[in-house]
Amino acid sequence: MVFVRLENVDELVTLRLWEAGTLGVTEGDGFVDAFFEDANVASQFGVPEAVVDVDWVARTEEGFPPLLVGEKFFVAAPWRTEPTPPGRIRLVVNPGAQCGTGYHRCTQLCLEAMEKLIRPGDSVLDVGSGSGILSLAAKLLEAGRVVSCDIDPDAVGPSCFFVGSVDAVRSGAFDVVVANINENVVGSMRADFERVAQKCILSGFQDDAGEWTCVIL
């Protein structure tokens, strides 16, 4: 078994690691270690180093501690047994399933915005749903109807999921639309976001200072 150490890893790189067949990913201070059986595969991401007697499952699980996000959410992986703090909503997501682990700042910004904007009974559209974390969050916030979509047919969403994007949705169909994608995609679809919903939560990009940000329209 070998591992490669990567710095400044975003969710797209994390997804590439899982697609390449990593055995597990652990997070350090400003870096991640990705483990592989095949050194040739690992070399796509960096210089492989040998690993001896490492329980990669345990190390991966330890690398995803629970998070307090915003004022309402307690984000936890399925294997975490810590009790949900009083007044918090437990949001369970499997890191590595798809983009959207809850550990990236953009996902957290969306969750923080959602808990302020979504009201019980609202209809919510999650564009580029990935792991489905934002769709699940909308349901936990008591949205009345949640629909998710993604161009990846393997993405995860609630029972109302379709392969496609916001351009396939009729005007005024939702109260809130949320999208955590990237600046180029969000920019090109902004008119459609505003067309289909009264309120928009858009993230996946950085501001002029290089900080991850979230725009509410």
Q: Does any domain span residue 197?
A: yes
Q: d(Cα 172, Cα 199) in Å, to the nearest integer?
A: 10
Indicate which CATH number applies to the domain containing 163. Answer: 3.40.50.150
Indicate whether 33 and 116 sit together in one domain: no
Q: H or E segment at 17?
A: helix 11-19
C-alpha dihedral over 133, 139, 143, 148, to 10 degrees?
50
Q: Phi/psi at 124 (nearest 5 deg)?
A: -130, 135
Q: Does any domain span residue 110?
A: yes
Indicate whether 26 and 128 sit together in one domain: no
Residue 145 to residues 35, 158, 187, 214, Cα–Cα distance (Å)? 40, 10, 26, 23
Indicate whether 114 and 207 sit together in one domain: yes
Looking at residue 139, the DSSP 8-state letter turns out to be H
Indicate whether 154 and 211 sit together in one domain: yes
Indicate whether 124 and 186 sit together in one domain: yes
Q: d(Cα 168, Cα 188) in Å, to the nearest integer?
A: 15
Looking at residue 94, the DSSP 8-state letter turns out to be -
Indicate whether 57 and 115 sit together in one domain: no
Indicate whether 161 and 207 sit together in one domain: yes
Q: Does any domain span residue 184?
A: yes
The count of structural domains within the chain is 2
pLDDT at 94: 83
Q: d(Cα 33, Cα 148) in Å, to the nearest integer?
A: 32
Looking at residue 122, the DSSP 8-state letter turns out to be -
List the one residue out of 140, 141, 158 whose CA is nearest residue 149: 158
* Beta carbons within 8 Å of 65's beta carbon, 6+ residues apart: 80
Instruction: Tell me the pLDDT of the chain averaged across its residues.
Output: 90
Range of the domain at 144: 100-216
Indicate whether 112 and 206 sit together in one domain: yes
Q: Please give the model's pTM, rounded to 2 decimal places.
A: 0.75
Q: Does any domain span residue 17?
A: yes
Residue with tokens 């302020």: 116
Burial 173-195 (b: 16+ CB within 10 A, else e): ebbbbbbbbbeebbeebbebbeb
Indicate whether 54 and 136 sit together in one domain: no
Indicate which CATH number applies to the domain containing 31. Answer: 3.30.70
Indicate whether 158 and 108 sit together in one domain: yes
Indicate whether 46 and 116 sit together in one domain: no
Residues of the chain with pLDDT under 70: 54, 96-99, 156-159
Indicate whether 139 and 44 sit together in one domain: no
Q: d(Cα 75, Cα 48) in Å, to the nearest integer?
A: 32
